[in-house]
């Protein structure tokens, strides 16, 4: 509901689209059906399978920061439902996004293997963990992505021999995921995932500063890419007049004036360093990261910039502050989403 509220607001404000004219199914994926979608999209699109399904089922049950309930959790089961929808709707391609934890715990890996096996009758697929930092986004955010394409499409595009080879790779991937301890999965990649050589392995490649006493004025190190520094990307003077910049949790804590700049060791009250990237923006229970040199939490607009959301977008006033932070932090960073979409588009064309 929060996402749809922001989605409608954006289309209305930016493009002059009447919210009533946007074809949206406002409900749970547990109740959506092919007939409902068929009524709301272009004639013949569903029946011709000329479309894709893109989504990120809620993932706290697979997160290392959560309770690790996995497929049995209320959110965890939605990943299975998402896969069932793919098999029911038969899209030409799909993209599924989830937390890295889905391949880090053996029970989660086996669940993923079962889901991929369900897809393997009609689809070839590939999985990879991508870090937003490696695409020029000032945030250390690792997420698992699964892309898939109908076998009939792979056959038409690449030929029978390539289809058979990819099927073998997919089977080996499923077997690997079923193991108690899984090795690197990169050897099973066949899809051309996006790569940006300017930022590859950015976390370990550059001499990042660590911690500075709060209230200091640390010197900007040399040899760091400006596009990965929150001071250069997020905290610019232009941000002060943007919508949602004043959307900040007002609650005060003595820790705001104590925690070192760049101290992200705690589970809460993580403080950004101005000459570094942000840790993962994942904001539940109002636990928003701290500003590098101001005694407050980040604003909604600052988090939007960390998620590479263009400044022209804004969230409406009728959303609660908690909803705004959750809506933004649950999303895939815009720049990374575009990179993946372009890779899929290049493959399909």
C-alpha triplet 94, 88, 40: angle, nearest 5°: 80
Three-state secondary structure along 240-271?
HHCCCCCCCCCCCCHHHHCCCECCCCCCCCCE
C-alpha 188/C-alpha 166 separation (Å) is 9
Supply the DSSP string of 179-245, one letter for each residue: SSS---SGGG--S-----TTTTTHHHHS-----B-TT--PPPPSS--GGG-HHHHTS-GGGGGSTTT
Which residues have CB under 8 Å from 229's CB, separation 6+? Answer: 138, 220, 274, 275, 276, 277
What are the CA-CA distances from residue 303 to residues 100, 270, 309, 326 (Å)? 21, 14, 9, 10
* Residue 124 is among the residues annotated as catalytic for this protein: no
* DSSP conformational letter for 339: H
The sign of the CA dihedral 39, 40, 43, 46 is negative
Task: Identify the active-site residue in 8, 57, 59, 299.
Answer: 59
Which residues have CB under 8 Å from 237's CB, separation 6+? Answer: none
Work out whether strand 93-99 and strand 52-55 pair parallel, antiparallel, or are unpaired.
Answer: parallel
Q: Residue 145: beta bridge partners? A: 97, 128
C-alpha triplet 14, 277, 212: angle, nearest 5°: 135
C-alpha 37/C-alpha 58 separation (Å) is 21
C-alpha 234/C-alpha 16 separation (Å) is 28
Active site residues: 59
């Amino acid at each position: 509901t929060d996402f749809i509220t922001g989605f409608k607001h954006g289309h209305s404000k930016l493009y002059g689209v009447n919210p009533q004219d946007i074809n949206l199914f406002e409900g749970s994926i547990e109740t959506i059906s092919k007939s409902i979608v068929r009524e709301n999209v272009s004639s013949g699109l569903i029946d011709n399978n000329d479309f894709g399904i893109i989504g990120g089922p809620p993932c706290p049950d697979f997160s290392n920061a959560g309770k690790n309930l996995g497929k049995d959790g209320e959110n965890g089961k939605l990943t299975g439902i998402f896969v069932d929808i793919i098999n029911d709707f038969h899209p030409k391609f799909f993209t599924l996004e989830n937390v890295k934890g889905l391949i880090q715990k053996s029970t989660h890996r086996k669940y993923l293997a079962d889901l991929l096996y369900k897809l393997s009758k009609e689809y070839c697929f590939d999985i990879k963990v991508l870090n937003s930092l490696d695409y020029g986004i000032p945030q250390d955010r690792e997420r698992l992505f699964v892309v898939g394409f109908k076998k009939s499409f792979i056959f038409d595009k690449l030929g029978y021999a390539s289809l058979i080879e990819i099927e073998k790779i997919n089977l080996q991937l499923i077997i690997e995921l079923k193991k108690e301890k899984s090795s690197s999965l990169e050897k099973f990649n066949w899809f051309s995932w996006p790569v940006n050589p300017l930022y590859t392995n950015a976390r370990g490649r550059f001499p990042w500063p660590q911690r500075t006493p709060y209230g200091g004025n640390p010197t900007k190190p040399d040899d760091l890419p400006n596009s990965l520094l929150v001071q250069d990307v997020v905290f610019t003077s232009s941000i002060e007049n943007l919508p949602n910049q004043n959307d900040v949790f007002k609650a005060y804590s003595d820790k705001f004036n104590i925690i070192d700049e760049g101290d992200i060791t705690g589970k809460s009250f993580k403080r950004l360093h101005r000459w570094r990237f942000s840790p993962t923006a994942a904001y539940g229970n109002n636990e928003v990261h701290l500003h590098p040199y101001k005694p407050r939490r980040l604003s909604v607009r600052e988090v939007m910039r960390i998620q590479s959301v263009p400044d022209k977008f804004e969230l409406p006033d009728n959303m609660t502050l908690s909803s705004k932070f959750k809506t933004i932090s649950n999303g895939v960073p815009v720049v990374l989403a575009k990179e993946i979409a372009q890779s899929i588009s290049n493959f399909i064309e």
